[in-house]
Amino acid sequence: MTQAQERRPRLVVVGNGMAGARTVEEIIDRVGPDRYDITMFGTEPYGNYNRILLSNVLSGAEEEDGIFLNSLPWYQENGITLRAGMTVTRIDGFAKAVHAADGTATPYDKLVIATGSVPFVPPIDGAHHPRRGFHQGVFTFRTLDDTRAMIRYARDHQRAVVIGGGLLGLEAARGLQQYGVSVTLLHAAGHLMNAQLDATGGDILRRSVERLGIDVVTKARTERILGKDNVEGVRLADGRTFAADMVVIAAGIRPNTALAQASGLPVERGIVVDDQLRVLDEPDVYAVGECVQHRGQTYGLVAPLWEQAKVLAGHLTGTDPTAAYHGSRTATKLKVAGVDVASMGVTAPERDDDEFVVFAEPRRGVYKSVVVRDDRLIGATLIGDVSKVGFLMQAFDRGSPLPEERVRLLFDLGGPPAEVSAAELADDAQVCNCNGVSKGALVATVTGGVRTLTGVMDATRAGKGCGSCKTLVAQIVEWAAGGEVEADPAANWYVPGVPMDKPTLMAEIRARGLRSVSAVFDALADGQEDAKSKMGLVSLLRMMWGDEYVDERGARFINDRVHANIQRDGTFSVVPQMKGGCTTPAQLRRIADVAEKHQVPLVKLTGGQRIDLLGIRKEDLPKVWADLDMPSGYAYGKSFRTVKTCVGSEFCRFGLGDSTALGIAIEERFQGLEAPGKLKLAVTGCPRNCAEAYVKDLGVVAIEGGRWEIYVGGAAGAHVRKGDLLATVDTPAEVMALTGRFLQYYRENANWLERTYAFVPRVGIERLRELIVEDSDGLGPGLDERLAASVAAYRDPWRERDAPVTPGQFRTALPLLPLPAVPVRAGGQP
């Protein structure tokens, strides 16, 4: 060590989380790594990661690797001594040293405390085991280890209770559903997200959350966790009980002040700091992040800590000695797929002259409100439609001018956009609140040579938190690149984890003879497994190899492992095949017998003209299939599912073609074919369209003169689209041939999970007519041949009842609760 190095002041940072690491980054950005001799302590045994993204890790939207902000080499490269996995137990202010759990003492000249928050665990009997921490099956949601533990547990269990209906609780609940767990959310207050939403907004949110299959119970104060060795349920103060195998407590956070308190530093709700983040009366001790209390305020979001880190770094480096922190205005966004919520500032007018503009459409789950004071936005709530969130955040953060017609704050009404353009934004304007990325940083990345949107997002992390700034990031990148943004290659990849479009991927798989998912990862993704890519690869490999595909059950989703559709309570639904929606008295009798024998709680007709037996336990599936002795109806897979038919010319007086016979023939030939998305078909006997053929992935309509029209790309789910006319043909045989070619072309060319309603417009109906009907490129014979091979490889998956593929295939980890009996309604009575 040189003499100059020896003289360097020692900076010790306790807490290697988002605030601690960001402060160090800011210091290094300003003066380089040599100003201080830096030591960082962190209880967690890792480099610094983006805690916000734990919700995405839980929901499977993000891999663990993707959330790390500073890898271990970063610390080395910057000469930082990282004591990862080491807790500081005491600060000796007199000797100016910190004592760690291993008995070592580390001296400091300047100390930064960045210990974050700890989960708040309300007093609930049974949450803890004496001397053993949490009861088996009880979790909090704060760290990567918490997240991993929850994922491991959820995989083997079926019912979860989440305590807390705030942001964290909702994100936990939605994430757990990913593992087939049925979730009940218990919230002590009267409405969800009560810290951010008013009662109307909270009720609208509740309906949206319930639509996702999460049971919500409000005014629910949990009193006790039930179960001796493992969690078996919870009991509320009012006596109600809820069965559960796991409990996640997400009831809020408290500043982590234990160390400061034990060391005699001033602590109220948090560690008390002044505008320079200096701990009161301690000239060389600072605190930053969620552990601090500044002007009476504590924070639970990242935006404040970016601002605090800047001020503190300016002060510690002397680059901005007068920098002062004045508090932050915070905005939040819920990161739950399928439920959009953003909120900032106040939720209701507070003064007589505050303006309050509200729009509510509960049926659609939409609620929007803004509060304006003195021509400035001081609060906004958006539920169900957050298209204006980028603009509102800008207006809220920067106090930018508002449109005269206030309704424009809630809707785009045409005319010039109210938003500040990318060019007009100041360089230091913060674009991504979650990761603290400014416009200047984005522009510098583009001018530094990165020309794709995802490249800029990867390099800066902008847009990788809650995602609400993505549009603005794209606009800035577009503007900075002078309109020369390059297409993102990943946009055309079949699955995110293998960098190839579908034709290239298929060619490589064929050329190298890759027959299993792990072989594909090994050969084409440098051995990097990607969870989000597995299901897509299974589908593709099964399509390509048929019998020769090497099955690895771990790559499959639960529905595909047990060939049934998992339900909210962890049971399954069984839908036997009924070709073309036709059945026989013998079949109906058998179904009735099975329903009685196995005490099936609900027997229901499906929209696809079949009979659904709901509430079957996993371990009973093979017995139910054996007793039914009918093939699978594929009501669970990304595959060919059903052909709905009307009675057609055989019985209907309007009928122009035998739709029933044709529907049965189509289903017989193409049953169970795996595909990038589910395939629902219909054949209808005349244009009156009783079987809804115009809104199916492929619909066939009989018309005058014994001819048939084939429509493709229709949908009538959350997305509604009338199919495009592919061809008009003379015979059922031609319908069969073109149906086969279309299905095979879709199977080979659509991206994973791309339904036909997106695929058909993407390729264009004219092009599809050329390729499939006119065979302009000579693809026809090849498509026919490969389809025929897939058809020949078809095996009824319910045959696995006789020989399970893995010992645990139909084994249930825990017994289920008795299922609710559904009252049988007397015929014709409501």
Question: What are the residues binding ligand FAD (CB under 6 A)?
Answer: 14-20, 41-44, 51-52, 54-55, 87-88, 114-117, 141-142, 168, 256, 259, 289-290, 300-303, 305, 335, 434, 465-466
For ligand FAD, the closer of residues 87 and 136 by Cβ is: 87
Q: Is residue 166 at the binding interface for ligand SF4, with CB under 6 A as the rule? A: no
Site for ligand SF4 in 619-648 (CB under 6 A): 646-648
Q: How far is the CB of 235 from ligand FAD (least distance, A)?
A: 27
Q: Which residue is nearest to ligand SF4, using beta carbons?
A: 685
| Minimum distance, C-beta of residue 707 to ligand SF4, in the bound complex (Å) | 14
Q: Which residue has the tokens 């990567």?
A: 144
Q: CA torsion sign, 656 to 659 to 660 to 661?
A: positive
Q: Which string of x and - marks every residue 113-152 that binds ligand SF4 (by CB under 6 A)?
A: ----------------------------------------
- Cβ neighbours, 10 Å, residue 815: 9
Joined together, the tokens standing for residue 806 give 């893995």
| Binding partner at 205 among ligand SF4, ligand FAD, none, C-beta below 5 to 8 Å by kind | none
Rounded Cα–Cα distance for residues 363 and 378 (Å) = 27
646 interface partner picked from ligand SF4, ligand FAD, none, CB below 5 to 8 A per type: ligand SF4
Q: Is 580 in the site for ligand SF4 (CB under 6 A)?
A: no
Structure tokens at 601: 């709680």
Nearer to ligand SF4, 326 or 653 (CB): 653
Residue 655 interacts with which of ligand SF4, ligand FAD, none, CB < 5 to 8 Å by class: ligand SF4
Q: Is 757 helix (H, G, I), strand (E, B) or coil?
A: helix
The CA-atom distances, in angstroms, between 384 and each of 118, 208, 372, 463 are 31, 8, 21, 20
Q: How far is the CB of 278 from ligand FAD (least distance, A)?
A: 17
Binding region for ligand SF4 (CB under 6 A) out of 261-269, 503-511, 512-520, 688-696: 688-696
Mention every residue, 6+ apart, whose C-beta is less than 8 A from residue 275. 294, 311, 324, 325, 326
Decide: is 690 part of the binding site for ligand SF4 (CB under 6 A). yes
Q: Binding pattern to ligand SF4, positions 645-684, x when CB under 6 A?
A: -xxx---x-xx---x------------------------x
For ligand SF4, which is the closer residue by CB, 134 or 654? 654
CB of 827 to ligand SF4, least distance (A): 24
Token pair recorded at residue 609: 């003209």
Residue 570 or 648 having the CB closest to ligand SF4: 648
Contact 308, 145 (CB under 8 A): no
Per partner kind, with CB cut-offs from 5 to 8 A, the member of ligand FAD, ligand SF4, none near residue 684 is: ligand SF4
Three-class secondary structure of residue 536 per DSSP:
helix
Measured torsion, CA atoms of residues 681, 685, 690, 692, in degrees rounded to the nearest 10: 30
- Report the residue number, 116 or 580, with the smaller CB distance to ligand FAD: 116
Query: Which DSSP string corresponds to 581-602?
Result: G---HHHHHHHHHHHHHTT-SE
Q: Which stretch binds ligand SF4 (CB under 6 A): 440-448, 686-694, 721-729, 773-781?
A: 686-694
Distances (CA, A) of 630 to 449, 484, 573, 591, 815: 60, 58, 15, 10, 27
- DSSP assigned state of 444: H
Least distance to ligand FAD, CB of residue 466, Å: 5
Nearer to ligand FAD, 302 or 392 (CB): 302
Provide the angle, in degrees to the nearest 10, between the axes of the packed helices 732-749 and 659-670. Answer: 40
Out of 114, 302, 686, 698, the only residue in the binding site for ligand SF4 (CB under 6 A) is: 686
Q: Which two tokens stand for residue 724?
A: 């495009």
Q: How far is CA 347 from CA 192, 197, 397, 401, in A?
A: 14, 6, 16, 20
Measured from each CB, the residue nearest to ligand FAD is 17
Distance CA 686, CA 657 (A): 7
Closest to ligand SF4 by CB, 273 vs 682, is 682
Residues of this chain that interact with ligand SF4 (CB under 6 A) are 646-648, 652, 654-655, 659, 684-686, 688-690
